Structure formats: C-alpha cells, structure tokens
Amino acid sequence: MVIASCFLEMEPPRLAQGMAEKFINRLPFASVWTARCGQLTGLPEHAQRLLESERLLLVFPEGARGTAKLWKDRYSLVDFGTGFMRLALRTKSPIVPFAFLGGGDAIPTVTNLYKVGNLLGLPYLPVTPWLLPLPRPVGLSVHFGEPMRFEGGGAEDDDTMHRRADEVKARIAGLIERARR
C-alpha cells in the first residue's frame, strides 16, 4: 500500500522499492511475490546501490520487531535500528517519515508464538482472535511527513546515530497521533 501511495499520490509520482526481511527468501511463495513486486532482500549493499542511483527506497526502521506488536500496542513504535540513518548519511539521502495506520487492525495479534515461528523459518507466528493470521478488511492510510536531512557521513558514534534515529521516530509518532485525530 505504501508503494502504491508513493506512485499514485506523490507529486511527481515515484516508484519505491522496499527492503524485505531476509527470512522471506526462505519462503517459496513470499520470495517470488516480493521479487516480482520489485522488493529486494534487506541487505545494506542493495539499499546503498538503490540510493546511489537516486531511487526511492522504502525501509521500516523497526524491522521485524515492528510487525510483532500486539493489537493493544498497534499505534506505538518499537526501538529503531540505526542502519537506515547510517545509510542515509553515507548516500546523502533525505529521510521522508511516514505513518502507516490500519495494519494492526487488519491482523489484530493477541500473542506471538516465537518457538513455532522459528521452526517454520519465521521470526514468530502471530495468533489472532480467530487463530490464523489472515487479514480482515479494514481501512488503511498512509501519511507522509516533510523530508528530514542530516549532516554527517554515516561513521558517527552510536550515541549520535541513536539520537538521530530517535528524531525520526518522534516525527513518525507525531504523524501517527495527527492521523489518529
């Protein structure tokens, strides 16, 4: 949905390519589907190549941890990694924060089975009120913020990178709150 929004609603239209979690390549159907949709395995070298070619890269700084949120936490954000920030600095790319609302309602997770997920090659297996993690039809929305630019080359100390990642996280949290209102 975010990719479609970038293409259909941005001016000028942009084709975004996303970074898929590495475990997806171990799942036959999901691997083919993500590749055919133009998504790449979430490796830093893939991301850097795209950004150096001035392509639009879609990343979720929460990673798989963000998808493991329970329904009661659906509007919260987990800690961001700093890889996206280092990459943006190395390639002199702006970060365009966005809020995606509705995913937690589509698959309202009540618990996650981590051991069962690991046996299946997944980070976890979500359990919904109807047991299976099948999405239900709900309203989804995407809200884009203003681009954020940071100075540096990507080799800054970890504390600096975490502070900058927290700035992006705070901006996204603000977008979520405004969209909810």
The pLDDT tens digits for 40-99 are 888 888 899 999 999 999 988 998 888 899 999 999 999 999 999 999 999 999 999 999
Taking alpha carbons only, the member of 91, 81, 98 closest to residue 51 is: 91
Q: Per residue in 118-174, pLDDT tens? A: 998 889 999 999 988 889 999 999 999 999 999 999 999 999 999 999 999 999 999
pLDDT of residue 40: 83
Distance of alpha carbon 119 from alpha carbon 123, whole angstroms? 9
Show the CA angle centred on residue 63, arms to residues 36 and 88, nearest 5°: 85
Instruction: Determine the pLDDT at residue 85.
Output: 95
| CA dist., res. 94 & res. 88, Å (int) | 7
Answer whether residue 22 shows pLDDT above 90: no
DSSP symbols for 96-140: --EEEESHHHHS--SEEEHHHHHHTTSS-EEEBTTBS--------
Q: Is pLDDT above 80 for 28?
A: no
What is the pLDDT at residue 128? 92
pTM above 0.75, yes or no: yes
pLDDT band at 36 (very low <50, low <70, confident <90, very high): confident
pLDDT level of residue 20 (50, 70, 90 thresholds): confident
